[in-house]
Structure formats: C-alpha cells, structure tokens
C-alpha cells in the first residue's frame, strides 16, 4: 500500500503542515496517511513524502492545503503532471545526499508518535544487546573505542564521564539529558526529540545501564512544547511495552524515566546550574570540583550529556565503536549535527562527518548565499562561540582546528552572514544575550558582560573613544579568567574574534564614525545624488516623516535632522539616486 507522510516538526507546522494534513484527510486519498518529523530541509516546508508500494519516494515541497486534491490525484493515478511544480528539484536534493546521518537517522522518516515505526526500523535492538549480551564495562569500552565526544559544546570524552560516574561509590545514581538548548539559531536537540524521541530514550537507557543509574531524567526547556508532548507519549509507550521500568528485557536492570520542563534560563545549559534547577533551586552554577560524577543531583553520582550525544549511542552499540570511529578525523570522531541559519539559501539541519570543510557545508549543502552579496563569515557556537571569516572557509570542522580560530564547535549553531552584516553589531547582539542570561552569581560575568555591552553600545552609536578596542580586549580576558562557569568564560568570544578578524570595522566606527556594512542606524546617512535624481518625487511620497523635499522634475534633498533612517526612500527609488553611507 502507498504511504503519504506529512512532515510535522515545529518548522513544518509553522509553515502550514497541519493544515495540509487536514486537507488531505478530506480527499479520496487511496493510501495510508501519516505524519513524520523534520527531515532537516526546513527551508522547503511544508513537505509531503509519497512512498509507492515498492518504497520508492517522491518528495513534494512547499505544499499548501490548496494542493491536497492534486496530491491525492497523483497518489491515486500516478500522474505527476498536477504536482510537477511541487516536486523537489535536483539542486535541493543535494542537501541530503551529501550528509551522513547517525544522530538524525529516522528523523523525517518514522512517525515519532508510534513505537512500532521505531521498532520496525531497528529500534531497541541495541538496548537489548547491551542489557543481555554486554556488561556495563563493555558498553563503556565500546563508547571509548568510538571516540564519541560530548556534543553539547565542550567535546569532553563521553566514556570518561560514564566511567567516572560508574566508579563513584553509592547505589543511588542518576543519568540526566541536557535538552535545555538555548543558543540563538540552534534547534538540533528540539528536532531530534520531535522527530525521533525513542532514539533518545534508547540511548539514555544504555547510558543508565552503563553507569548503574536507576532513574533517567530529561531536562527540556518549556519553550519546546511539541518536543515535550512527543517525548511524553514515547515514555508512555515504552512503559506499556516493558522497555522502561522493572527488569527490562529480563536482564535484571531496572530504570525509571521522567521529564523536567525548565523555565528557559540559558545558564541552565551548564550542568551544575541544570542540577540546581532540577532540584527546585534557582539555576546557578556550583563550584567544581566536586564534579557531577561524584556529587551531582541530590549530591549523588550523576552523568549529564546532551540530546545529540545520546542520539549516537544506540547506533554505536548496534554497529560497533570502530565503525563510528572510521568517520571524522583523528581528533574528532563520528558526525556532527548543525543548524544552518542566516543568509543561506538552504537553511535547516545537517549532519556531516567531522573533518568536512566549512565551505563544503555552506556552499555544497547550504547552497551558498541567498542574497547577491558575498559570504563574509560564519558564527559557530552561538553566544559562546566566535566568528570565522570568509578567507578561512577551508577550515576543517574539528574540535581542535575550530578552537585554533578562536571559535568553538559548540552545540552546533552555524549562523551564516554576508557583507551586509556589521561585525561590531553582531558582537553586540550576542553580548546583549549573554548579559541578560547571566545568573549574576559571579562578579566577572554579572558586571563584566554589562561593561562590554556598554562599550559596544557606545561604538555602535558613534560615540566610541580611542582606547575602546584595547579596553574591550582587556575586559574580555579578565572575564574569561575569572568567571565561574562556561557562560561567563565563553561570553567574550564573539567580541575577541570580531576584533581579531575585523579590527578595521571597529576602527571605522570609532575613528570615522562610520559603519562599513551600513547596518548601525545611528551612523547611517541617506542622501540623494543630484546627477541621478530625475525629480519623480516617489522617494518624497514614501517618506513617513516628510524629510524629503523638492519639486517635480527637479532634484530632491533629504533633511537628515528629520530623517528616521527607515530606508523606504532607498527601496522606492528606481534610478539609484538615493544613497546610503
């Protein structure tokens, strides 16, 4: 029987996928209609996948509810003429063809609400293998062979954390998943939970077995309602099937599973702050040592990894650590998931082997710039990361090589920028975020980030002073050296990397009171070139504050005292007479 799958991740639903599904229900569709999660091609949503009796796929993209009957006719008759405009093109198909999917396997393919779909695709076989054929020590050894590093940002060896928790004294231990994804532009963890929640559960149960934990907890931010709904349903299903609870698979291993919805504090991405929040206290980091492996949740041995880390575990146990280690580089094994956003043609989720060049991700998979402007830089690691300029686009995606640039791998946010982006303004944007998200516990982060933000504010307003760049660098280094947790220690990275690679833009703001990218409103000035102006008056008619005056067929002028720099005159002029500088 034919199957029609409607992608209903958050991106698909926001684009109208739920309406498409409802419209298809009302047609004479002669096929099984079901839902799936996000395939990663967020820029093409809503997406409808049609599988024939032999499993051959026809992908329809940018579908609307008005296309429902045409889709039904195609499914019923095989005549693709009515859906020709919806067929995914060959260029867009490259988005998936150049990826290697392990953590994202099953995403956009299985129904996230049905455990049977997961099991039919090999689900829970790795858990059964671990519980009935392997010891906890051999599970940890397999993760060590794989070289799996934590995908939450720090890249710490997963096996080492698991081994430390297992070696800690005490019968009461906890395994915790950090799903408190908060980086601007990052949505990897959300998509994994929404699209394949059972893969997360299986990976966590294997981890719980390895360290000897009898309770597994997912700490997920409350702003991910769909992820929570689907994970709750998945937990109900595994309980009903005896996969969570007492004596799992008759192995003697027992483990409970629950969700904790976080309130959305960015600092709770730091593991000890997460633990504080999990215990009901305000999310603020603890001093380390002791580390969570010795004293974590309720001061008991605990292990914390993020969603993507756990999403790799069942594949490694099923296929062997050596197979995972074959992918990537000597220093960075396996694959990495990235959320590509910004000035890119094909934005969405990608999973690539470590060692791939940044340029390959941006231009081969992402399709390059969606504007007619040149690629300028990519911000990796969100507010904790840094920018990598265009002339370093051949940098390999590897923990050490990215760190050498001043950026970090981070959790996987990849924000692509073109030459219209002001790098001072970009640094200010991320500092505004981290200053607001600081928990306030340590002075270096609480006060230091505010001082950085104040200096950047002044520079963007044209009030920068000689010595501001040096003051920024000095303050950044003091914050990095004195901050208590990773939030404060990495908050200066966007400032330091933009100064390192775009110092000339800082100098232009400070010395010339000019924004080279033309993005800082306070430094903009609009004027009309008298040699190009034909006196059509269109700019004057579009100006909302009457700042443009003149006579028909004569040159118009802009009063910069009145001008609010909205840019409507620039958009309206058809002759290039309005200039922005």
> Which three-class secondary structure state does DSSP give residue 348?
strand
Nearest-angstrom CA–CA distance, 215 and 209: 10
Q: By the 8 A CB rule, do 421 and 518 touch?
A: no
Domain 423-511 is in which class? Answer: mainly alpha
- Can you name the CATH fold of 335-418? Ubiquitin-like (UB roll) (3.10.20)
pTM of the entire predicted model: 0.93
Domain ranges across the chain: 3-88, 115-325, 335-418, 423-511, 525-580
Nearest-angstrom CA–CA distance, 413 and 435: 19
- Can you name the CATH fold of 3-88? Glutaredoxin (3.40.30)
One of 3.30.70.980, 3.40.50.11540, 3.30.420.40, 3.40.50.150 is the CATH number of 115-325, namely: 3.40.50.11540
Nearest to 123 by CA among 108, 105, 96, 141: 105
- Can you name the CATH fold of 525-580? Alpha-Beta Plaits (3.30.70)
- pLDDT tens, per residue, the chain with 581 residues: 999 999 999 999 999 999 999 999 999 999 999 999 999 999 999 999 999 999 999 999 999 999 999 999 999 999 999 899 999 999 998 899 999 999 999 999 999 999 999 999 999 999 999 999 999 999 999 999 999 999 987 789 999 999 999 999 999 999 999 999 988 888 999 999 999 999 999 999 999 999 999 999 999 999 999 999 999 999 999 999 999 999 999 999 999 999 999 988 999 999 999 999 999 999 999 999 999 999 999 999 999 999 999 999 999 999 999 999 999 999 999 999 999 999 999 999 999 999 999 999 999 999 999 988 999 999 998 888 899 999 999 999 999 999 999 888 888 889 999 999 999 999 999 999 999 999 999 999 999 999 999 999 999 999 999 999 999 999 999 999 999 999 999 999 999 999 999 999 999 999 999 999 989 999 998 999 999 999 999 999 999 999 999 999 999 999 998 999 999 999 999 999 999 88
Q: By the 8 A CB rule, do 267 and 484 touch?
A: no
Nearest-angstrom CA–CA distance, 436 and 355: 35
Beta-sheet pairing, 3-7 with 32-36: parallel
């Amino acid at each position: 029987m034919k199957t029609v799958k409607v992608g209903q991740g958050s991106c698909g639903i926001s684009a109208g996928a739920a309406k498409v599904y409802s419209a298809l229900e009302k047609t004479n569709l002669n096929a099984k209609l079901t839902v799936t999660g996000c395939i990663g091609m967020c820029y093409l949503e809503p997406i409808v996948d049609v599988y024939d009796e032999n499993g051959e796929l026809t992908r329809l993209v940018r579908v609307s509810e008005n296309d429902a009957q045409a889709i039904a006719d195609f499914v019923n008759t095989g005549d693709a003429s009515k859906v020709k405009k919806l067929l995914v093109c060959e260029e867009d198909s490259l988005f998936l063809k150049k990826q290697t999917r392990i953590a994202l396997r099953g995403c956009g393919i299985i129904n996230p609400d049905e455990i049977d779909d997961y099991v039919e695709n090999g689900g829970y076989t790795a858990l059964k293998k671990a519980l009935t054929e392997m010891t906890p020590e051999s599970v940890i050894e397999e993760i060590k062979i794989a070289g799996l590093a934590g995908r939450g940002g720090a890249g710490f060896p997963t096996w080492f954390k698991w081994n430390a928790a297992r070696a800690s004294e005490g019968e009461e231990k906890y395994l915790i998943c950090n799903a408190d994804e908060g980086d601007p532009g990052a949505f990897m963890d959300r998509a994994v939970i929404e699209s394949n929640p059972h893969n997360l559960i299986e990976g966590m149960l294997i981890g719980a077995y390895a360290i000897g934990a009898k309770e597994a907890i997912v700490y997920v931010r409350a702003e991910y309602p769909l992820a929570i709904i689907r994970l709750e349903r998945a937990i109900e299903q595994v309980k009903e099937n005896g996969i969570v609870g007492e004596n799992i698979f008759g192995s003697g291993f027992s483990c409970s599973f629950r969700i904790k919805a976080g309130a959305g504090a960015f600092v709770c991405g730091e593991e000890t702050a997460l633990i504080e929040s999990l215990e009901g206290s305000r999310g603020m980091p603890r001093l380390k040592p002791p580390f969570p492996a010795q004293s974590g949740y309720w001061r008991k041995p605990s292990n914390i990894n993020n969603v993507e880390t756990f999403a790799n575990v069942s594949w490694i146990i099923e296929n062997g650590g050596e197979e995972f280690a074959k992918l990537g580089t000597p220093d960075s094994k396996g694959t990495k998931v990235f959320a590509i956003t910004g000035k890119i043609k094909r934005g969405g989720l990608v999973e690539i082997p470590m060692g791939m060049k940044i340029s390959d991700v941006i231009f081969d998979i992402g399709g390059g710039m969606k504007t007619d402007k040149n690629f300028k830089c990519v911000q990796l690691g969100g507010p904790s990361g840094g920018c990598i300029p265009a002339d370093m686009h051949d940098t390999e995606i590897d923990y050490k090589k990215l760190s050498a640039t001043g950026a970090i791998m981070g959790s996987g946010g990849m924000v692509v920028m073109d030459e219209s982006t002001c790098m001072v303004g970009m640094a200010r944007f991320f500092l505004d975020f981290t200053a607001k998200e600081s928990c306030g516990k340590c002075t270096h982060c609480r006060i230091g980030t505010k001082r950085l933000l104040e200096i950047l504010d002044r520079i963007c307003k044209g009030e920068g002073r000689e010595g501001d760049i040096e003051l920024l660098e000095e303050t950044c280094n003091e914050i990095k050296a004195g901050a208590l947790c990773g939030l404060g220690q990495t908050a200066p990275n966007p400032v330091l990397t933009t100064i390192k690679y775009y110092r000339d833009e800082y100098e232009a703001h400070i010395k010339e009171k000019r924004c080279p990218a033309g993005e800082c409103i306070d430094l903009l000035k609009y004027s009309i070139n008298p040699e190009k102006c034909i006196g059509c008056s269109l700019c004057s008619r579009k100006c909302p504050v009457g700042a443009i005056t003149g006579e028909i067929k004569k040159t118009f002028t802009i009063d910069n005292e009145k001008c609010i720099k909205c840019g409507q005159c620039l958009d309206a002029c058809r002759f290039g007479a309005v200039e922005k500088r």
